[in-house]
Amino acid sequence: MNQDQLKQLVGRAALDYVPAGQILGVGTGSTVDCFIDALAASGIQIPGAVSSSERSTQRLAKHGIKVLDAAEVTRLAVYIDGADEIDGRGFMVKGGGAALTREKIVADLADQFVCIADASKLVQTLGAFPLPVEIIPMAAAQLTRRFAEIGGKAQLRGGVVTDNGGHILDVTGLSITDPLAFENDVNQWPGVVTVGVFAHHKASVCLLGGADGVKTLKF
Ligand SMILES: O=C(CO)[C@H](O)[C@H](O)COP(=O)(O)O
């Protein structure tokens, strides 16, 4: 199976976690696109979804799935989203699709984070994938220097403006051995909107698609 087929496989597997009759949190990315398509085809009835991006909102709406504002809900049982990297403890790097801030906001509303990913996303240590950081544009130069101080090389993602009007720095050269401390630390830097380490909002479950099918990792 190629990567696209694995994404479709885990997208379908995630249907088992959809709480019928309840509002669902929906992430962003190509794996989530597969999930949204599978959800629409499944016939599972939900009253609506809280979406983490304009991209997912459009796809949900295209399928006739009602999209609710985050302010309309106080709690979600389940949030389903992809990841750029996930480690053996459920800590993740996210934001390859530039939706990390809204993803963290929707994840914060949810009791359970179901990560759907192909097996290439499972890593020993976070950091090989360039770490996305949403920033206030004015802070780009100073934040680039701050990342350099901890061994990271930050590059502005050209031509990208997030759904929130922010910019994205992609940071290479990091080895994130303590994701909780790293997230705490970088979140304090002025100009950082959201760092793409999801440690405080880690996965509860990961459905990992590989050659042998879907493996369920619980954290
Ligand atoms: O964090 C994300 C978007 O901001 C995505 O979940 C992450 O980039 C994985 O994307 P894909 O499913 O396309 O591999």
Domain residue extents for the chain: 3-122+200-218, 131-194
Work out the pLDDT band at 205, boundaries 50, 70, 90: very high
Q: Are strands 85-86 and 92-93 parallel, antiparallel or unpaired?
A: antiparallel
User: How much of the chain, in percent, has pLDDT values that exceed 90?
Assistant: 100
Ligand 1 proximity of 101 Cβ (cutoff 6 Å): no
pLDDT average, residue stretch 195-218 = 98
pLDDT average, residue stretch 192-209 = 98
Q: What is the pLDDT of residue 10?
A: 98
Q: What is the pLDDT of residue 132?
A: 98
Helices (H) and strands (E) in the chain, counts: 6, 14
> Would residue 103 show up in a list of annotated catalytic residues for this protein?
yes
Strand, coil or helix: what is 202?
coil
pLDDT average, residue stretch 195-200 = 98
| Residue among 30, 36, 104 to mutate when testing ligand 1 (max atoms within 8 A of CB) | 30
Q: What is the pLDDT of residue 76?
A: 98
Q: What is the pLDDT of residue 70?
A: 97
Q: Strands (DSSP E) along the chain, which ranges?
A: 24-26, 49-51, 67-68, 76-81, 85-86, 92-93, 110-118, 131-135, 153-156, 167-172, 192-195, 197-198, 205-210, 213-218
Give 67's DSSP letter: E
CATH says 3-122+200-218 is which class?
A: alpha beta
User: Which atom of ligand 1 is the closest one to the Cα of 33?
Assistant: 12
List pLDDT tens digits, range 29-74. Answer: 999 999 999 999 999 999 999 999 999 999 999 999 999 999 999 9
How far apart are alpha carbons 219 and 187 in whole angstroms? 24
User: How much of the chain, in percent, has pLDDT values that exceed 70?
Assistant: 100
Residue 62: count of CB within 10 angstroms of its CB: 11
How far apart are alpha carbons 21 and 133 in whole angstroms? 35
pLDDT average, residue stretch 176-188 = 98
Q: Are strands 131-135 and 67-68 parallel, antiparallel or unpaired?
A: unpaired
Q: What's the gap in Å between 160 CA and the centre of ligand 1? A: 15
List pLDDT tens digits, range 83-114. Answer: 999 999 999 999 999 999 999 999 999 999 99
Torsion of CA 135, 139, 144, 147, to 10 degrees: -70
Work out the pLDDT band at 219, boundaries 50, 70, 90: very high
How far apart are alpha carbons 130 and 173 in whole angstroms? 8
144 among annotated binding-site residues: no
Instruction: Kindly report the CATH number that applies to the domain delimited by 131-194.
Output: 3.30.70.260
